[in-house]
Structure 1
Amino acid sequence: MARERAELLTVRQVLDELGGISRRTFYRWRELRTAPRCIRLPNGELRVRRDALDAWLDELGEGVR
């Protein structure tokens, strides 16, 4: 069975989904290695896999563990 492709989100889509955080905040999180894992495309743009964002959000949930 072929692996289903995960949706790739733009940084703007991620910012909107996170409640409109600023681009600066997102890139700061990347510097601190606390942002969701990103993929850098050959053209230099970043993408975040939908499943990686969902997993990252689940890890941030309070009372989990």
Structure 2
Amino acid sequence: MDATAAQLIGAGLACLGMGLAAIGVGNIFGNYIGGAMRNPSAADGQFTRAIVGVAFAEALGLFAFVIGILLLFR
């Protein structure tokens, strides 16, 4: 296998984390909406926790993107 091909495959595999982060954000907000529909009075107190969860998931997605870019242009 050529070194360039291996580099491109590694960068593509590293970028899978971005898609998985998007799935995580969908799960967080889906569960938040489900909980808010069951107990609307507690929805305001849980919104900040949902936002923190989204921030962590997006940070991991950005980290995967940066690693992919570093592998691609190294």
With normalisation by structure 1, the TM-score equals: 0.27
Structure with the largest fraction of strand: 1
Structure with the largest fraction of helix: 2
Q: Rg larger in 1 or in 2?
A: 2
- Higher RCO (C-alpha under 8 Å, 6+ residues apart): 2
